[in-house]
Amino acid sequence: MQRIVVLNPKGGSGKTTIAINLASYLASRGHNPVLMDYDPQGSSTRWVKKRLPNQAPIHVIAAFEKDGRTTRAFQLRVPGEATHVIVDTPAALEPRHLPEMTRDADKVIVPVLPSDIDINACSNCVRDLLLVAKIKRDENRLGVIANRIRRNTLIYQALIRFLHTLGVPIVATLRDSQNYVRAAQLSVGVHEMKSYVVQEDVEQWLPLTQWLETPRRPHVPGSHGTSPTSTSATAPSGAASTDAAAAAAPGPAPPSIPAGVPELPVAATEMSRVDSENDVESTQPLPAIAV
Ligand SMILES: Nc1ncnc2c1ncn2[C@@H]1O[C@H](COP(=O)(O)OP(=O)(O)OP(=O)(O)O)[C@@H](O)[C@H]1O
Ligand SMILES: [Mg+2]
């Protein structure tokens, strides 16, 4: 069973959209996904509960609910036949909760929007995942999704350049599309909609689903995994798939960054410092999660 955590404390970055579409993708391919909803807004839970009996089944666990009649372990138990657990996390998740939330995760996906505020929040989130949650880049379990992208905008290019400095692979680039809004209303994912309507959106999921199939790797002390320049930033359709491949076998194909792209909110030197600190194992006990 694979555990996939979708996480970014910045509200509205697309966590729920990605979690439900991933569940829909897996269910429509015959897998048995479970959506674990930690967000008190309960959007994922509502989306599952509105699905019709003839749609591919998705099991949901409303992890945000506190049920005093049963134990927490009982409330969060995953059915034995589950193939994937997709964890939808809430906005404003505090850094101290990150270790518990990501400890057993095979993959951690951070969606980020193309805006100055979101870029800044994403840099804090990735820093906390590296330093607080102690995720190592070379483990191949951390990936970023550039979400609600409009190509040929300066802010899109700034986002891609910023993601380069993080040294975390861009595992998908999803366009800003009303198909996601319609799909959410209909309690389906884009993979369950008419293919001629959603073809472009569905194609953009391919690099993500390929990356999800690549295994976690053991951390090699002293290695920082994917280098800050080993993610691809240019070719729109091929970029993310190159990134997924780079995540599976880091090293080749340093990308070119378009000329005139604005300066970055996080300097590469800062991320090198994060790398050094990331190599120090924490001796602190992990806090209990209370979301
Ligand atoms: N690629 C996309 N194209 C168009 N709209 C999108 C896209 N991704 C997300 N949205 C829309 O953006 C809004 C916020 O998305 P979503 O609820 O998934 O974010 P979130 O990170 O889960 O928010 P929160 O932090 O509040 O839980 C929703 O209205 C959703 O339909
Ligand atoms: Mg949400």
Domain-wise residue ranges, the chain:
2-278
CA of 5 to the centre of ligand 2 (A): 12
What does the pLDDT look like over 203-262, one tens digit per residue? 999 999 999 999 998 888 876 655 443 333 333 333 443 344 344 433 323 334 445 444
Which of 16, 37, 149, 201 has the most ligand 1 atoms within 8 A of CB, as the residue to mutate? Answer: 16
Q: What is the pTM of this model?
A: 0.84
What contacts 94, CB < 8 A, 6 or more positions away? 9
Fold (topology level) of 2-278? Rossmann fold (3.40.50)
> Is residue 182 within a helix (H) or strand (E), and if so which, with residue range?
helix 178-186
Please state which of the ranges 8-12, 136-140, 215-219, 272-276 shows the lowest mean pLDDT: 272-276
Q: Tokens 């805006």 appear where?
A: 115
Distance 78 CA to ligand 2 centre (A): 21
> What average pLDDT does the segment 187-203 reach?
97
Site to substitute for ligand 1 among 17, 182, 187, most atoms within 8 A of C-beta:
17
Q: Which listed ligand is nearest to 201 at the C-alpha?
A: 1
Q: CA-based angle 68:70:72, to the nearest 5?
A: 90
Of 82-91, 101-110, 259-268, minimum mean pLDDT range: 259-268
Judge if the beta carbon of residue 91 lies within 6 A of ligand 1: yes
Q: What is the CA radius of gyration of the chain?
A: 18
Measured from the Cα of 90, ligand 1's closest atom is: 27
